[in-house]
Amino acid sequence: MPRIGIGWCWLALVLPLAVSAQIDPVKRDLIQFGYDQPLEGVSPLGAYAFYYHNDPGFLRTNLTLRLAVAPVYLDSELGFNHLLGPNTDFAIGAAGGGFADSYSEVNSGKYIEAQSFDGNDGEVSASVYHLFNPGDLIPLNYVLRGTAHYSAYERNDTTASNFELPKDGMTYNVRTGLRWGGIEPTLFPALAMEISIWYEGYFRTAPGSYGFNNDREIEPSSHQFWSAAALSYTFPDSKQNFYARLVGGTTVDADRLSAYRLGGFLPLIAEYPLTLPGYYYQEFSAKQFVLLNASYLLPIAPNQRWNLDFNAATAVIDYLPGTGQSGNSISGVGGGILYRAPSDKFRFIASYGYGFNAIRDGDRGASSISFLLQIDLDKPHGDSFRSAQPSEWRGWNWLLGR
User: pLDDT tens digits for 279-289?
Assistant: 999 999 999 99
- 230 contacts 193 by C-beta, under 8 angstroms: yes
- 398 contacts 118 by C-beta, under 8 angstroms: yes
- 143 contacts 126 by C-beta, under 8 angstroms: no
- How high is the pLDDT of residue 389? 36
- 280 contacts 46 by C-beta, under 8 angstroms: yes
Residues 6+ apart with CB under 8 A from 104: 44, 111, 116, 282, 395, 397
- Residues 364-386 have a mean pLDDT of 77
**Residue 4's pLDDT band (cuts 50, 70, 90):** very low
- Residues 333-358 have a mean pLDDT of 94
How many whole angstroms separate alpha carbon 42 and alpha carbon 402? 8
Name which of 328, 294, 327, 298 is nearest 313 in CA terms: 294
Is residue 328 pLDDT above 70, yes or no? yes
- Dihedral of the alpha carbons of 347, 32, 382, 145, in degrees to the nearest 10: -160
User: Mean pLDDT score of the chain, rounded to an integer?
Assistant: 88
As to burial, measured by CB atoms within 10 angstroms (0-12 exposed, 13-18 middle, 19+ buried), residue 229 is: middle
- 79 contacts 89 by C-beta, under 8 angstroms: yes
How many whole angstroms separate alpha carbon 264 and alpha carbon 107? 15
- 242 contacts 233 by C-beta, under 8 angstroms: yes
How many whole angstroms separate alpha carbon 271 and alpha carbon 183? 9
How many whole angstroms separate alpha carbon 251 and alpha carbon 111? 24
**Residue 393's pLDDT band (cuts 50, 70, 90):** very low
Residues 6+ apart with CB under 8 A from 80: 62, 63, 89, 90, 91
Q: Where are the domains of the chain?
A: 3-400
- Assign domain 3-400 to its CATH architecture: Beta Barrel (2.40)
Name which of 269, 304, 250 is nearest 390 in CA terms: 269
**Which residues pair with residue 241 across a beta bridge?**
234, 297
Other Cβ atoms within 10 Å of 323 Cβ, number: 19
- Residues 173-181 have a mean pLDDT of 96
- 303 contacts 275 by C-beta, under 8 angstroms: no
- Residues 41-66 have a mean pLDDT of 92
Residues 6+ apart with CB under 8 A from 323: 105, 106, 107, 256, 259, 284, 285
- How high is the pLDDT of residue 197? 98
Name which of 113, 95, 96 is nearest 104 in CA terms: 113
**Residue 72's pLDDT band (cuts 50, 70, 90):** confident
Residues 6+ apart with CB under 8 A from 222: 201, 202, 251, 252, 253, 254, 255, 257, 258
Q: Does residue 213 sit in helix, strand or coil?
A: helix
Residues 6+ apart with CB under 8 A from 35: 11, 46, 47, 370, 371, 372
- 79 contacts 64 by C-beta, under 8 angstroms: yes
- Residues 150-173 have a mean pLDDT of 97
Q: Please give the single-letter amino acid code of residue 234.
A: T
pTM score, two decimals? 0.89
- How high is the pLDDT of residue 19? 41
- How high is the pLDDT of residue 395? 35
- How high is the pLDDT of residue 44? 92
Residue 119: half-sphere exposure toward Cβ, Cα within 13 Å: 23
User: Residue 50: what are its φ and ψ, rounded to 5°?
Assistant: -165, 165
- Residues 374-388 have a mean pLDDT of 58
